[in-house]
């Protein structure tokens, strides 16, 4: 995110229920121009419902929503000109060809773009005449991204972008998302993959049971929880008391020759220095930083179910 903090989305006290089920209880956040904003949480937390309200695909029961310059409830047609969408659990007809989908979606976009350019831009040229049903998961996602960008949107919603993709296709998709962001498009990314959010997002809102339980940069969320850092190495050490005596160290455990230290702050640097000082030079000294997933579990009290 640059220094520019123009607000492109403002949501206040959004609420949406289906019959007696409350999908979104009370969600508020802002998204700034040019950032990748993540909405993360377990399945059924209300993430998709919330972003579908923002895109005007569902009508919110209560709350203020402003997306770009528009209210999605009353100015949907205008809004759609400026946004792109990759929807969760959506598809295309199996027998439609890649070029036909691009051509069709381009003809319905408000800004006329040449679908052939889009085809090249997204590396789909060699799949031009392939049927949608014959594409791999990664190729389908690439087409969905291309379709989401066919009207050169200022703001894009990407919902569970990498679900069902193999690790290689996920990495490639992440790269595409970063490229899009570099071109100045604001991105709202909905995901239940914590590593994805941590890797891509400038800021994230953690949503659980229809509410925002935390909102900040992934790093700040992790830091705010003071989850300890784990330092591990192997060494044949009889005496560990000198490690335990270090003020930054909270706990030391030994499993065979494996030593695990939990601590805070610069514990890794201090342990490393102390080891070198004693002539102990383990080749596998490493620190395991707490991740967004650790923070998520600490905040919501439950594990993410994939």
| Contact positions vs another protein (CB under 8 A) | 18, 55, 57-59, 77, 80-81, 85, 87, 89-93, 95-96, 100, 103-105, 107-110, 147, 150-151
Q: Which two tokens stand for residue 139?
A: 């190729």
> Which of 55, 33, 58, 1 is CA-nearest to residue 154?
33
Nearer to another protein, 27 or 150 (CB): 150
Residues 6+ apart with CB under 8 A from 113: 106, 150, 151, 152
CB of 192 to another protein, least distance (A): 18
CB of 203 to another protein, least distance (A): 24
Nearer to another protein, 94 or 223 (CB): 94
Q: Where are the alpha helices (DSSP H) in 214-291?
A: 218-224, 241-244, 267-277
By DSSP bridging, strand 258-263 and strand 249-255 are antiparallel
**Using CB atoms within 10 A of its CB, is residue 194 exposed (0-12), middle (13-18) or buried (19+)?**
buried
CA-based torsion, 210, 213, 218, 222: positive or negative: negative
Give the separation between CA 42 and CA 160, rounded to whole angstroms.
Answer: 12
CB of 103 to another protein, least distance (A): 7
CB of 305 to another protein, least distance (A): 22
CB of 83 to another protein, least distance (A): 9
Nearer to another protein, 103 or 216 (CB): 103
CB of 105 to another protein, least distance (A): 5
Residues 6+ apart with CB under 8 A from 288: 229, 230, 231, 232
Nearer to another protein, 106 or 295 (CB): 106
Nearer to another protein, 62 or 107 (CB): 107
Nearer to another protein, 81 or 232 (CB): 81
């Amino acid at each position: 995110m640059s220094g520019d903090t123009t607000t492109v989305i403002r949501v206040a006290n959004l609420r949406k229920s289906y019959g007696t089920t409350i999908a979104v209880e009370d969600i508020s956040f802002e998204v700034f121009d040019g950032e990748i904003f993540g909405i993360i949480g377990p399945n059924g937390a209300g993430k998709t419902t919330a972003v579908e309200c923002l895109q005007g695909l569902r009508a919110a029961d209560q709350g203020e929503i402003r997306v770009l310059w528009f209210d999605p409830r009353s100015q949907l047609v205008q809004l759609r000109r400026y946004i792109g969408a990759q929807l969760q659990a959506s598809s295309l007809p199996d027998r439609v060809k890649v070029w036909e989908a691009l051509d069709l979606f381009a003809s319905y976009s408000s800004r006329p773009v040449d679908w052939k350019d889009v085809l090249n831009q997204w590396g789909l040229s060699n799949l031009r005449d392939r049927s949608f049903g014959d594409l791999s998961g990664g190729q389908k996602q690439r087409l969905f991204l291309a379709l989401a960008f066919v009207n050169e949107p200022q703001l894009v919603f990407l919902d569970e972008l990498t679900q069902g993709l193999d690790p290689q296709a996920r990495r490639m998709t992440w790269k595409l998302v970063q490229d899009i962001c570099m071109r100045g498009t604001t991105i709202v990314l909905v995901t239940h993959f914590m590593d994805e959010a941590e890797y891509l997002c400038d800021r994230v809102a953690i949503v659980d049971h229809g509410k925002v339980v935390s909102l900040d940069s992934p790093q700040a969320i992790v830091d705010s929880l003071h989850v300890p850092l784990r330092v591990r190495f192997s060494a044949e050490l009889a005496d560990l008391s000198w490690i335990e005596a270090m003020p930054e160290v909270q706990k030391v455990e030994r499993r065979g020759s494996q030593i695990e230290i939990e601590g805070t702050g610069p514990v890794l640097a201090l342990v490393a220095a102390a080891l070198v000082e004693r002539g102990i030079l383990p080749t596998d000294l490493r620190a395991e930083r707490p991740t967004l997933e650790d923070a998520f579990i600490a905040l919501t009290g439950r594990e993410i179910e994939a």
